[in-house]
Structure 1
């Protein structure tokens, strides 16, 4: 099962709701009528709330835009306050996404007629370690085994490349393709090199703060100000009116993509029973969004610089994402590369299809064409440790930006006692996240050698298939005297690796390529929040049971209603010739009484009451 983590959640409907299962896609588009009628209890746009603290400036900025309420969780993360079963409840973002994924799992199983356990979930390429771990926790809450967290642009590249029959052979010069993805809330660029059966990501860049919603916001701000002047209406103080305006502005934006003439914007009974109207054309829209459009080129230029390619090295430019349909966005991309852009991929489904294909590749149950994928590390990662020889700290960059991933390295330390390693992002200003720290790892069971010298400690660090950094294991290399030799030269019990790094003056640190180091006695600090996961799983179980009971209750109620409608139809149809008018009127009156009861006293009764009522009807009729 391949899953694309969507921006919108179609209502809080007691719990759960967007997936891809091999060959079919369910896109979770927002239901505006539902949002308008249930503003504070319909959740959407929560994907980028993952892994962030409540006090994060980004979260505080989003709070002002979201119609539902965000609150601080006991662990400092973000929670969502909703009304569930007539009481106020606070759910963690991981729980909300877990509900969404659980519903999708259920939907998939219903369509496939078989259980679903494994999945691949896409995330933005700029997601940090904390954000990725949060999504993994959501999958665990949903009872899904996430085989891989896949970068969105890499999923697009897979969807593009796996079907190509004309890719260059492995020994030939690769085909370089640029993938541009501008969706609802983010802009990502990836350059990939293709050979037959092989995909290698060369560079990835992004602007996490520009997407389709920003163009919608520009229109909303414009019309809000116009309606304030023209109709004396303060739109932004009315959540329902604001959501309706967003809906109409998004429609207008799409219409302007296909039509350059003046287009109307009309909303009936908008606020205070007033109808409002206005108009705009594409030229005005582009002028209004000039600042946004100026941000299209920098990520393209940065990607080309990082990949060390020239425009003539690019075979094609593939665009996906709803916002790439805006003519001015397309024009900016085309002008930069001096080449026509390609739209061979489905702009809305390419990411989800790529995830489904990756899931099939990783699953032993499907036969899929061999296709290897090498992704990249989006941010450089540095390790810091306390020096053994003088006061201060030592540090070394272990993974550079755009380093191949997944990948492991072995670091050699010379220590006499347990020590800590702190991982952090080397250049915090490049990371759209306020905390540059990734985690702290404790290496235990380290002591001096029998002769008092420092022990050689080999620590394996890794960026795994999910893009998560970890200290995977560590091992101490002990010195032994070889018996039977004429000298007592101490030797390591493990042969030395091929050194590919440099000696560090503080800790004689060496970075080696992984040569298969033995299991360690390292203790890694737990970076996930187990309490959130456990609470989420428990809440999911309770809510699923509540959903089941509520469904059974509604089914019993609907059975009574269906019986009334069905019998009424028969009185006017097949039974009409066999029943007197007096008996027909009597039965019709009894059916009306039952129907009135359903919508009055019987509106919210236990399941057994409806079952008894149905049995009573069957006996009487």
Structure 2
């Protein structure tokens, strides 16, 4: 139905409960398992309505700014603990470093132990990380203190705070302007992170009124309900205004200059047009290269896509006028078009089709396969219904459903790196749905039996991972929408026990042995299986078919990753109503309880540190008196798409491997997949323990070659191992505040989102950064994103009459500046901004360009995203060429380039030669690797077959 940003969804969840106030500026701190999102939203009541109790009034959720780190979350804290434990293992047992590091199973088991320890350390000062037979038969046991944990993750905590600062800066707000700081994401429970946010916001009390683990899904569910029209409350209108996390633009000249069309933190959906011209005399075609990023050079930005505008009439350079239009839809998907204004020729691209994106045929093929799995599963449906009947009766109460939209209930899904969550808005409240194991969080894990047709998803897959490491897939979110050659992918595959190879068009393909033969799966297929599991969970609970959903993504997810997420939803049989950013969803979850907010609003920083990504969003929650709607406005965003709890686990695994090698000198442990898996489990457990205790033990019996592994992990050691990761968190937060031009004192609330925000070090750094401000813990950091997404889903589906939702407006922003590469006589690779980062989306902006050479008849438009003045440092999103420009002296042709970002954050760029009317365009979604309809159908059918097989093995 829609893809919305995770912080925006969280903001919806929070904002609905805050609608008693006139205006509220809320900072959503969403630190999940892999991403950190900080969003600053304004929840307000539009119009000057003195009667704050009027149920007929509306509220606007306007995202003022977002920040974060797509690679900072609970997984990153786990990685630091893993590194520490590996080092301890090597030290104690004198094993070869290469041996234990190559033992993928041991590393995985250690990661799990560290993750568990990390969670426990949110409640105790010390815990143990224990893994039996971690490597070569050696058990591993180590104490992990909270202080050690914080020291290991010092760098990550620092990055969290910097993301908050970045969000505030982008929103041009002081931390004192933030009324509420809402903690979203499981990692926001980390005492250190909460203390850091508390200190940063000068002892401001952090809000815990929304579940940090459910807020994003909560907000997404609200959005899904609105889109689906299944709400009972028709009086209240909620407007969600999100922003673009990155600037979008094109390369305009040969020097790789980034010409921004849609700046980051621009409200979405948005549309912007900028005029360009040709670079050479008699140029008849223009290549439009679309980039995302904040660098002035496209070389330093991310290329989203490119296309060519041909047929430009020969003319001196600078004479043809080419309008490039960038359009972001509500899902954050970019559409770019270019038009020669002289000839009227046009071309366009939707930024979803870079070389790693699934083709439409691929998506359709997967959809067909998913449906086939479904049909087979129905054959054994009766046994499933028999087993689930009591569960449905117990969980659904009287069985009445909230809303009766024709499309069925709309849900919000937080598709996390390590864990996923689903929520729904009904009976005027958000409900996070527990899975079949009674857990509200489901591991984002898929496993395949090597010698038969059995497959496992969620807890079942996670629980057998130690015995089947090479066929158990996790952290696939770090692969989706990426190229195999990406540095982050190459780094991750060294830590994973499963195999990833390069497929067609540089796609990462996951290799497993299934049914006695080798098979390859695309990341979208694996993600679709997780989404299908969440859908099944909701259907069992609601006793209804679920089709519509709002899915959250990290703020810094680029267009390819957003489109790949939409494809995964399609394969799972879902209608993606909207994609929202995770911190925004958390802000929604937090801001919900703040509605209506005070007249001045509240500035909220969402710190989202998840399992694999890190997002920070700075949002202003405003009463929206003028428009009679509560406004959640993202001011700025920051983050890291490859920073989360998994990275903390990796550090602990590395540490444990070093210790094992040091103690035992067994370097071949690195090739022992089972030992590495067990070690990773232990490290994950220790990491979690260190959130509640200052010391724990990482233990693995008979880890490798019969050697037991045991190492004591203190919180301080954990923090030291992860100091770089903690630092990245703080840097991201500072960047978010700086981009928003907001001082940390202006932030009212710091919301912790993501499981990794439970890390005490993260909370302490945030609290210290905000001068002792109390971090918002009113929402569950693990559930806040799903909670906010449920809010957004309810709004989008129209499935609520709850005035808090109906009167809510969410304004997202672009996370990165968008522009086009241009050149002049003195500068090459210049980033010409069209849409600055943190521009509210949807948005549309037009910029004028001209030719660079005499008689230039075509102009290439490379679209970039990034903050560098040089496109060399930004990300190329795409490129197209405007042809048919009449020959003319340079700088004479007038070319309008339009950047338009829709509500989903998708960028559309177009260029038009104003004299001839020739046009061309690109939608930053059309990369050649995208799944086509046939592929989606095939994969959907195959997914359905897998589903049926799982039913059979569960109900023999």
TM-score for both structures, normalised by structure 2: 0.48
- Indicate the residue corresponding to 2:622 in structure 1: 195
Q: Return closer, same or farther for 1:264/1:57 CA change in 2, 3 Å cut-off.
A: closer
Matches within 5 A, 1:23-172: 23-25=431-433, 26-29=440-443, 31=459, 32-169=462-599
- Indicate the residue corresponding to 2:877 in structure 1: 438
Structure 1 residues 33-42 or 200-209, which shifts more?
200-209
Kindly indicate whether the alpha-carbon contact (under 8 Å) linking 2:505 and 2:929 is maintained by their aligned counterparts in 1.
Answer: no
Matches within 5 A, 1:126-525: 126-169=556-599, 173-196=600-623, 197-234=630-667, 235-260=669-694, 262-338=695-771, 339-367=773-801, 368-384=805-821, 396-411=832-847, 420-427=860-867, 436-441=875-880, 460-471=898-909, 522=920, 524=922
Deviation at 1:358, TM superposition (A): 0.7
Deviation at 1:373, TM superposition (A): 1.0
Kindly indicate whether the alpha-carbon contact (under 8 Å) linking 1:397 and 1:426 is maintained by their aligned counterparts in 2.
Answer: no
Q: Return closer, same or farther for 1:264/1:405 CA change in 2, 3 Å cut-off.
A: same
Kindly indicate whether the alpha-carbon contact (under 8 Å) linking 1:4 and 1:19 is maintained by their aligned counterparts in 2.
Answer: yes
Deviations 1:273-317 (A, max 9, x none): 443323232233334433433334322322222222233322222
Kindly indicate whether the alpha-carbon contact (under 8 Å) linking 2:817 and 2:836 is maintained by their aligned counterparts in 1.
Answer: yes
Q: Return closer, same or farther for 1:92/1:311 CA change in 2, 3 Å cut-off.
A: closer
Q: Return closer, same or farther for 1:107/1:210 CA change in 2, 3 Å cut-off.
A: closer
Q: Return closer, same or farther for 1:138/1:434 CA change in 2, 3 Å cut-off.
A: farther
C-alpha distance in structure 1 between counterparts of 2:776 and 2:902, whole Å: 32
- Indicate the residue corresponding to 2:945 in structure 1: 546
C-alpha distance in structure 2 between counterparts of 1:251 and 1:63, whole Å: 22
Deviation at 1:360, TM superposition (A): 0.8
- Indicate the residue corresponding to 1:592 in structure 2: none
Aligned length: 500
Deviation at 1:410, TM superposition (A): 3.4
Alignment partner of 1:279: what SS?
strand
C-alpha distance in structure 2 between counterparts of 1:374 and 1:180, whole Å: 18
Deviations 1:386-426 (A, max 9, x none): 99x9x999973111121121101234578997755321124
Deviation at 1:143, TM superposition (A): 3.2
Kindly indicate whether the alpha-carbon contact (under 8 Å) linking 2:613 and 2:644 is maintained by their aligned counterparts in 1.
Answer: yes
C-alpha distance in structure 2 between counterparts of 1:185 and 1:209, whole Å: 6
Deviations 1:213-245 (A, max 9, x none): 233223222222222233444432211111111
Alignment partner of 1:37: what SS?
coil
Alignment partner of 1:403: what SS?
coil
- Indicate the residue corresponding to 1:534 in structure 2: 933
Kindly indicate whether the alpha-carbon contact (under 8 Å) linking 1:190 and 1:202 is maintained by their aligned counterparts in 2.
Answer: yes
Kindly indicate whether the alpha-carbon contact (under 8 Å) linking 1:414 and 1:455 is maintained by their aligned counterparts in 2.
Answer: yes
- Indicate the residue corresponding to 2:219 in structure 1: none
Alignment partner of 1:272: what SS?
strand
Kindly indicate whether the alpha-carbon contact (under 8 Å) linking 1:198 and 1:373 is maintained by their aligned counterparts in 2.
Answer: yes
Q: Return closer, same or farther for 1:364/1:457 CA change in 2, 3 Å cut-off.
A: farther
Deviations 1:193-224 (A, max 9, x none): 11121111112122444432233223222222
Deviations 1:343-370 (A, max 9, x none): 1110100111111111111112333331
Deviation at 1:8, TM superposition (A): 3.9
Alignment partner of 2:466: what SS?
helix
C-alpha distance in structure 2 between counterparts of 1:316 and 1:115, whole Å: 38
Bigger-Rg structure (1/2): 1
C-alpha distance in structure 2 between counterparts of 1:437 and 1:139, whole Å: 26
C-alpha distance in structure 1 between counterparts of 2:865 and 2:696, whole Å: 48
C-alpha distance in structure 2 between counterparts of 1:290 and 1:142, whole Å: 39
Q: Of Structure 1 and Structure 2, which has the larger fraction of its residues in strand?
A: 2
- Indicate the residue corresponding to 2:388 in structure 1: none
Taking CA–CA contacts closer than 8 Å with sequence separation of 6 or more, which of the two structures ends up with the larger relative contact order? 2
Alignment partner of 1:258: what SS?
coil
Alignment partner of 2:781: what SS?
coil
Alignment partner of 1:132: what SS?
helix
Q: Return closer, same or farther for 1:317/1:230 CA change in 2, 3 Å cut-off.
A: same
C-alpha distance in structure 2 between counterparts of 1:552 and 1:336, whole Å: 49
Q: Return closer, same or farther for 1:536/1:5 CA change in 2, 3 Å cut-off.
A: farther
Kindly indicate whether the alpha-carbon contact (under 8 Å) linking 1:137 and 1:533 is maintained by their aligned counterparts in 2.
Answer: no
Deviation at 1:166, TM superposition (A): 4.9
Kindly indicate whether the alpha-carbon contact (under 8 Å) linking 1:241 and 1:271 is maintained by their aligned counterparts in 2.
Answer: yes
Kindly indicate whether the alpha-carbon contact (under 8 Å) linking 1:186 and 1:208 is maintained by their aligned counterparts in 2.
Answer: yes
Q: Return closer, same or farther for 1:437/1:378 CA change in 2, 3 Å cut-off.
A: same
C-alpha distance in structure 1 between counterparts of 2:722 and 2:570, whole Å: 41
Alignment partner of 2:785: what SS?
helix
C-alpha distance in structure 2 between counterparts of 1:34 and 1:455, whole Å: 65
C-alpha distance in structure 1 between counterparts of 2:501 and 2:934, whole Å: 17
Deviations 1:517-562 (A, max 9, x none): xxx975546614476333532332441453466468769x93xxxx
C-alpha distance in structure 1 between counterparts of 2:870 and 2:684, whole Å: 31
TM-score for both structures, normalised by structure 1: 0.71
Kindly indicate whether the alpha-carbon contact (under 8 Å) linking 2:818 and 2:865 is maintained by their aligned counterparts in 1.
Answer: yes
Deviation at 1:330, TM superposition (A): 1.4
Q: Return closer, same or farther for 1:541/1:224 CA change in 2, 3 Å cut-off.
A: closer
Q: Return closer, same or farther for 1:24/1:473 CA change in 2, 3 Å cut-off.
A: farther
Deviation at 1:68, TM superposition (A): 0.9
Q: Return closer, same or farther for 1:436/1:552 CA change in 2, 3 Å cut-off.
A: closer
Alignment partner of 1:6: what SS?
coil
C-alpha distance in structure 2 between counterparts of 1:71 and 1:122, whole Å: 27
Kindly indicate whether the alpha-carbon contact (under 8 Å) linking 2:819 and 2:864 is maintained by their aligned counterparts in 1.
Answer: yes
Alignment partner of 2:816: what SS?
coil
Q: Return closer, same or farther for 1:553/1:112 CA change in 2, 3 Å cut-off.
A: closer
Q: Return closer, same or farther for 1:76/1:335 CA change in 2, 3 Å cut-off.
A: same
Deviations 1:583-608 (A, max 9, x none): xxxxxxxxxxxxxxxxxxxxxxxxxx
Q: Which runs of 5+ in 1 are unaligned?
A: 10-16, 449-453, 480-519, 559-621
- Indicate the residue corresponding to 2:422 in structure 1: 19
Alignment partner of 2:442: what SS?
coil
Alignment partner of 1:36: what SS?
coil
Kindly indicate whether the alpha-carbon contact (under 8 Å) linking 2:481 and 2:564 is maintained by their aligned counterparts in 1.
Answer: yes
Deviations 1:412-444 (A, max 9, x none): 57899775532112446999x997211124557
Alignment partner of 1:19: what SS?
strand
Q: Which runs of 5+ in 2 are unaligned?
A: 1-410, 426-430, 434-439, 446-458, 624-629
